[in-house]
Amino acid sequence: MRVGEPGLSYIRNRRDNDLETNHGSYTTVEGGVAASYFGSEADFSRLLIKNSTYYPFLRKRRTGTGFVFARSTSVGVEIPFGNTVLLEPGASVPTGHTLIPLPERFYMGGGSSHRGFGLNQAGPRDPFTGFPIGGSALFLNNLELRFPAITLPYLHDNIGFTIFHDVGNVFATPQDMTRSLGVWHQPHPEVCKTDEQPKDCNYNYLSHAIGLGVRYQTPIGPLRLDFGYNLNPPFFPSFTNIVTNSENGVPTGQFGFQRAGHFNFSFSIGQAF
């Protein structure tokens, strides 16, 4: 599907160091409107706001190193208009209407996002294949306590550690997000374990993860290895041997269910935020 979307970005960078921030703040606002006026086949507006802050404490006067408490919050929404609609996973698209394309939706999960999920694994899933399909709303809050570097043989003072807590999820609609900010467990997970109504499997809750990170300083930024443990990963239906009925278009197959993994790890360059 073709998407034409002029966008606007605002960046305010008040960090002391872009590669290894010890204090300051960083704010970005990204917005855009996709409409038929710009050649788009889907009509929707998009807004994503991110804000990060960094607070040093217990710093050593001689070296200037110490602990850093870092926080980052992200909120995103997509609003359809015209013939574009938002639907829950697996719902039929009304005649003459369209959906926001999959690549244009919000996704979450991975080393620079929610570290309790694998890459892009958070949020709504297709009720038959179990594949993540993204959503039109996003909430994510990251907390990190960054320890000062320690000295080790051969590695000198280039190794550091962090502990973190990530909470958030992706939601099918902005209304689902606002209703779920106080929900910490997947609603009615037993529904996801039966083949009676796989479309009713609910992902509207905040998923929490805690973890430990290891950092190795390099001239281009820290090499980062994060180990995350998801406290409440979702269950989801997952059919195999799927066949679509040629008469009514209804998919059928062998029912099964899965649960997203508790343990996740990621490797990348640069801080998570």
By residue range, what is the domain housing residue 251? Answer: 7-269
Mean pLDDT for 227-241 is: 93
Entry pTM: 0.91
Q: Return the DSSP state at 92.
A: P
Residue range 82-109, pLDDT digits in tens: 999 999 998 889 999 999 999 999 999 9
CB atoms within 10 A of CB 273: 19
Query: What pLDDT does residue 163 have?
Result: 98
Taking a C-beta distance cutoff of 8 angstroms, is the pair 100, 135 a contact? Answer: no
Residue range 141-200, pLDDT digits in tens: 999 999 998 878 877 888 999 999 999 999 999 999 999 999 999 999 999 999 888 899
Q: In this model, does residue 246 exceed pLDDT 90?
A: no
CA atoms within 13 A on the CB side of 84: 21
Q: How far is CA 206 from CA 10, 87, 167, 168, in A?
A: 28, 20, 6, 5
Residues 6+ positions from 228 with CB-CB distance below 8 Å = 115, 116, 164, 166, 209, 210, 211, 263, 264, 265, 266
**What 3-state class would DSSP assign to 25?**
strand
Residue 233 falls within a domain, yes or no? yes
**What 3-state class would DSSP assign to 191?**
helix
Task: Kindly indicate the confidence band of residue 251, based on its pLDDT and cuts at 50, 70 and 90.
Answer: low
Residue 93 falls within a domain, yes or no? yes
Length of the chain: 273
Structure tokens belonging to residue 269:
């360059």
- CA separation for the pair 197, 201 (Å, rounded): 8
Q: How far is CA 238 from CA 87, 206, 212, in A?
A: 20, 22, 31
Task: Kindly indicate the confidence band of residue 244, based on its pLDDT and cuts at 50, 70 and 90.
Answer: low
Residue 78 falls within a domain, yes or no? yes
Residue 173 falls within a domain, yes or no? yes
Residue 121 falls within a domain, yes or no? yes
- CA separation for the pair 273, 267 (Å, rounded): 14
Residue 2 falls within a domain, yes or no? no
Q: How far is CA 91 from CA 5, 15, 250, in A?
A: 26, 45, 12
Residue 100 falls within a domain, yes or no? yes
Taking a C-beta distance cutoff of 8 angstroms, is the pair 165, 143 a contact? Answer: yes
Query: 214: domain CATH number?
Result: 2.40.160.50
Residue 188 falls within a domain, yes or no? yes
Helices (H), the chain: 174-180
Mean pLDDT for 62-74 is: 89
Indicate the number of domains in the chain: 1
Residue range 9-57, pLDDT digits in tens: 999 999 999 988 999 999 999 999 999 999 999 999 999 999 999 999 9
